[in-house]
Each structure stands twice: as C-alpha cells, then as structure tokens.
Amino acid sequence: MTHTEIVVGVNRSAAALGSVEWAARRAARTGARLRVVHVIDEAIRATDNAELLLAAQSHGQRILDEALDVVRRVAPDVAVEASLEQGDTVHVFGDLAESAALLVIGSDAEGSDGRRTTEHESPKRSRGVRGIRLAAASAVPVAVIPSVDVSDRNRIVVGVDESELGGRALAFAVEEARALGATLVAVHALPVPPVSDFGLGNQSPALIVDPIDYEHIGRAALERALDGIDLDGLSVDHVVVVDEPAFAIADAARDASLVVVGSHGRTGIARLLLGSVSHGVLAHLEAPTVVVR
C-alpha cells in the first residue's frame, strides 16, 4: 500500500455503504486508490467450525460485492480492490492502514439527542464504540462516517488549541476547506472558569475571572494558533466558547459537513486510549469526523 490509498472497512451495518460512498468520493477527488475490507472476527475461526467459517466467508464476500457496486456507481474511475480478512477487527485494520493515507469506517450514530454524556456513558443514539476503538489504535487519520445527511452543509469544524497536535488537525481542516470551497470554523474552547462562594451567603457564586477578560484570553489563544497558517481565500469563522472542548465542537458540528479533531499520537498501551476531546466528539457524532494524529 502507499500513502495514496484509502482503506475503508465494511460490515453489515446500515452505515457501512454510506462510508464506502464517502470514501469513494474522496478517492475520486484526491486520486487515491481504494481498498475495501471486511473482517471475519477471530472468534468465528476459533470455533473450529468449518461450516460456520464458510458461511461467514460467503456473507463477507456478499458485503464486499455490495461495497464494490457502490464504488463503481459513485466513482467508476477509482482504482479499487477488495479483501476478506480474519482476526481482531482493531488489529487487522490497524495493520492494513498503517501505510495508508486514511482509514474510513461507518457508524450507526444518527446524531446526538442533545443530552450531554461523559466519555464513560453510552448515548442512546451515539453508538460510536467501534469508531472510538479504531481511532485509538490507528497510526493514521481515521474518518468515522455516521448515518447523517450532510448534503446541504458546507462547513468544516476544527477544534483548535496551541498544541502541535492541534496544529496538525488545523492543517488537515484547512486543506479540506480549500479543496471543497467550504467555510472553516475554528473552535477554541475555554474551560469553565473557577468560582468563589466566599462571603456570599445564599447568593450565587461569583466568577473569579472577569468574563470579558476571559473571552479576550480565548480569542488571543485562537489568533496565536491561526498565526502563520495560510488562510488566504478561505472563509473563516472564529468561535470562542466557555465549555468543555468536546461539547463545544459537537455543538458547532450540528451544521458541519466535516469535523476534524486531534488525538494522542502515541505508541504502546497509550495508543489504546483516545484523548477526552476526540473521545467525546466521537461519542456525539453530528457529521463525518476525522481524528488526526
């Protein structure tokens, strides 16, 4: 494989073919090759049941054939191949995508129901566990495609901070916005400021930080993060909010065509964990979301 290849995972979920269509359109736009992969879970092979394995292989091939039909319909000029693999899904896709440009998977999430949940909860309409696991283990960017219609949207939301990782996410988002003629929405979230209840009796707690000064701090941080980035010709919205970053990005994503967030680019056991921001965004999918390392 080369860095001009996109790997897309397919299964029997309703979102799978949507992710194939998304990947095919991207491959057509970027000139990338496409590899469509279905993984037969290791647990099936471990049963030593030849009949069960044969049935799984036959079912997997039908899934791949349907995916190839989508590619040929959407992007007939894209070079595509299909492969049927066996093993642990996370490990297989991690290995296959290691030298690719992007890993794409579908998610049956249909957008959040407005209820704010923590990373330890499972929102009813945000079933993004598979996407979270793959994004955590992958060494390359991962695009998680929910069952959400974004055809009438043209805004790319990116979470921005002053870290090196934030810079990589921003660079990815800028490139996408320029290629698609989309508005770039740069979101910088400030943590909820500390409060004091000293001497207030039954009155509401008072902010220790002046709200106006606090907003200025956030806007200055956003400007520093954007400094030196080539934004010529782009429409850019600057968004500074006082909120948890994952919630701020998810809120902005409700009218987005794409969301871009960063995650820890680590090795070893730390690679099995996502940062709280990317984890939270994937748990509240509102649009196709790319996790950049």
Residues of the chain predicted below pLDDT 70: 1-3, 109-130, 193-212, 264-274
Structure tokens at 226: 């954007």
The pLDDT value given to residue 1 = 41
Residue limits of CATH 3.40.50.620 in the chain: 1-107, 150-293
The closest of 118, 85, 138, 159 to 266, measured between CA atoms, is 138
Tell me: the pLDDT tens digits for 40-59? Answer: 998 998 898 999 999 999 99
Tell me: the pLDDT tens digits for 253-262? Answer: 999 999 999 9
Tell me: the pLDDT tens digits for 239-287? Answer: 999 999 999 999 999 999 999 999 854 444 344 455 788 888 998 899 9
- In CATH terms, the fold of domain 150-293 is Rossmann fold (3.40.50)
The pLDDT value given to residue 150 = 96
What is residue 141's three-state secondary structure? coil
Q: Which are the contacts of 217, defined by CB distance < 8 A and separation ≥ 6?
A: 190
Q: Which CATH number applies to 1-107: 3.20.20.70, 3.40.50.620, 3.30.200.20, 3.30.1600.10?
A: 3.40.50.620
Structure tokens at 218: 């956030």
User: Which conformational region is residue 21 in: left (phi greater than 0), alpha (psi within -120 to 50 degrees), or beta?
Assistant: alpha
* Cα–Cα distance measured from residue 292 to residue 175, given in angstroms and rounded to the nearest whole number: 13
The pLDDT value given to residue 79 = 98
- CB contact at 8 A, 227 and 166: no
- CB contact at 8 A, 148 and 118: no
